[in-house]
A and B are shown apart, each in its own frame.
Chain A
Amino acid sequence: MARRVRSGQAGAALVIAMGTLAAACAAPGSNSPQPAATSTSSQPTSQSAAPTCGTAPITMNGYFETGFPLPKALTTEFSKQHPNVTWNIREDQFAVITQNAPRVLADNPPDLMRLPQVSELVKDNLLKNLDGYAQAFGWDKWPASQLEQLRLGPGGRPRGEGSLYALGLNFSMTGVFYNKKLAAQIGMSTPPATLAELDAALAKAKDAGITPIVQFNGGATGGLAFPLQNLMASYGPPGPINDWIFQKPGATIDTPSNLQAVQHLDRWVKAGYFQKDVNAVDYATMMSRFIDGQGLFMFNGDWESGNLDKQMAGNVGFSLMPPAQQGGKQAAMSAPLTFGIAANAKNADCAAFFLNWVATDQKARDVGVEVGGSHPMGPADAYMPKVSSDTVTASTLAAGADIAKDNGAMDFIANATGAIYAKSWTPNLQKLVGGQQTPQELLKAVQADYAGQIEGN
């Protein structure tokens, strides 16, 4: 028989071991970066000349998003113009970046990183304050609306004002794409001008046996947030929605006009305008179905313009969401493709120089439009690449100008907090589709989660 250690003895050893291990650790996070670590003293505010990448060989560390060719195309072009700069780029899916962002910025700070929602990163002092660079490069003279979403108050709240903590490679916008061939089948020659006209087109498509809207709503990213926010823009002004996304005190998503928007979406669901399996459709499936001609409309963003121009050349149109009343103001989800510099980045100056180059260099702006399909950042009078007028890219760029005119840019409602998309909008929108949630309950549930998450941080 094997000799057995008496259980009391073993238990004691275990307790001692566990106790020693636990007692050896201080409270978690006690060695976290302190606010002083990113004070503006390290910023080039006092410098008269703007920072550059210098002439000595330099390797930049980038952390980009998989599936978006724009950042890599820009870095390649940049290295052509500045041969001393080489890039060491890591790529991941956006969901992975979102989850990794805090730890990567803290432990292995990249020089340039695609960022998710930034409030919580600013709160933890993980991002470089870009005010000094903004002054040195003159970013503060660009149209204020371009940088608004990237400004944050002390401690990360509210957004929309305060110091600049990130910059966009361009700013993208969402609206309604439509298949021109299918549109012709139901006698739709121009995009709907009012919400009622859109409703009529949807009904006609359904009667003609055409799927009115292909949309994704599966997994942890509920794509019905796209049409929902567009409907919110039809029914109400964008201001209060932005306040909510920017975590302004007292802001709520549970407003009468937003309720009308959710009710309208609910009617679309009940009328069968979305595909029956919308809760199991992911983004890639939606794209392949739309390109395959399996639906008339798709709510999506101009980041697909270049792709659609290639895959459905001449057969795809784009319009902003029509207003509820004829001639009403238009609004849209419009957000910069956010990139930031880690608080402890080794080559922060070069990263800032690169961001400025993306917005101001002619070649870079060409790449931004051709590859990215969206409007470049930069001064209002900056060079704009010529785009063939019969392309979707031309329509989305024109729509961007309309939004700017109506001052209708909104951030994405899924960006209000780090977890609101996966843990609140998505399950609630899926429940709405499944008939398990009323529009009123949906807004109440999202607002409750939002309040909890803000309080939790």
Chain B
Amino acid sequence: MRISGARAIVEALRREKVEVIFGIPGGATIPFYDALLDSDIRHILARHEQCAAHMADGYARVKGAPGVCSATSGPGATNLVTGLATAYMDSSPVIAITGQVPRNMVGKDAFQEADIVGIVTPITKYAFQIESASQIPDAIRLAFMIASTNRKGPVLIDIPKDVQLEDVDFDYSERIKLKGYIIRTGDPHPYSIKRAIGLIMSSERPIIIAGGGVIASNASEELIKFAELIMAPIVTTLMGKGAVPEDHPLYLGMIGMHGRIESNKAIEEADLIIAIGTRFGDRTTGKLDEFGKNAKIIHIDIDPAEIGKNVKVDIPIVADAKKALSTLYSKLLEFGFSKKDSEWISRINYLKESYALNYEEKGEGLKPSKILKILRNILPRNAIITTGVGQNQMWTAIHFKIFEPRTFITSGGLGAMGFGLPAAIGAKVAAPDRPVYNIDGDGSFLMTEQDLATAVSEKIPIVSIILKNRALGMVRQWQCLFCNKRYAYTDLGNIPDFVKLAEAYGAEGIRIESYEEFEVVVRRSLSTEMPLVIEVPISPDEKVLPMVPPGKSLKEVIWYG
């Protein structure tokens, strides 16, 4: 089959079962877009390339398969950067296809030329430029393989415009290999399993930290079985939220900077930490020297470079979470392991009761915690939540219970404000039959608000709940707590009327003033057929608590503001 490079890209994407591309065309991708028009791949026109990347990311996280975004050369490509960095930090399989100036102009500072491969190399799993159309099939095949195997991550393919116009004999069979890239089976090493079993059998107070890797490897079921067998409480990182249903009796809560007190306390008291699919980020561990210092640590991760990077571990298990957990489970049974008595679990339950988040939800104004609880009561268990970044994100993490994997989509590692709305669009495209709610802050929402236009044009009925405090709330909170209330430039001043803003885009906007109104609106929103923005005014003095101050150990928690 002899076809143009542009058609070869489309054909390769079809072979990879790509259903949708999020992007914006431009001069350097005109041939590709022309070929795309003849295909059955859906294209969703974003209004900013950062959003296209976040959409692909949201799609990928919900779908569990790569999401594809596309941008033209130069500014189009550079606009992808934040989205790709987000996907990289959260190990999300995103494929970016960018146009490049024609080969004879590369390196000449041509119009709309940017060395996008150079720019994104540190924030992608792999990035490369194609030099001839004959490379296209292999390049796309490799890109999908790299993005979606081992530890997942974003891959960028840069394709000069003239390469898209050149002809190629299309052959999608595996021809070239990257010698240095070996797809791991994910099977744990028997020796490390044996050592882990020994530790588990002798531990009195085990605890499990579930990270994003548990969700990435679809290991929730195995995790629950394993936890129930060894009677270990489960805590999660931010990215691990959803790894277990939060109403499971062994579930304790999130740990870390904004983790629950009982979860952080349990980490302190445990004699064995089994960490699965987490990179021990600083927001999770607090002060490293103090983290888990009374416990032995077993660390299960698919990426060997994560083991020992931040936290010194006693037993490393380089493995896929699902495989490691099921192996541990069956080996424990084989060794005749039986459930321990529940002294530790009684202690955990006592901690749970003592530190339950009994927020004082009275007082002036609407409380974010109560808003989120009302929302939870109305939404079905499988509703998908995306968030912006900042206080809105942490309130959601603390107060909004997640029951299913891949239903909590947030920018964990990079913390990219503006993530919520485009990620919600991508999520809804991946799961059109499920409700998708973006819980956002005004500051965060305003960074990508233009893509409401995308949601309206494409008839993607997502709901954005904006906790409007007229401030860059999380920074303001730090200024309050650590800068003696010197609020340096965190007051947003003039912010738009979100109801009118939504309407200007052709979406629906509603402002609510009471919990009752909120409840009515949310119930109605379940059947909305158009994008909806719900403005919820809150006080700028509302804080995210508990909080472990940056650089402090998990026990040095601030509880009441």
> Does A associate with B in a complex?
no
Binding site for A on B (CB under 8 A): none
Binding site for B on A (CB under 8 A): none
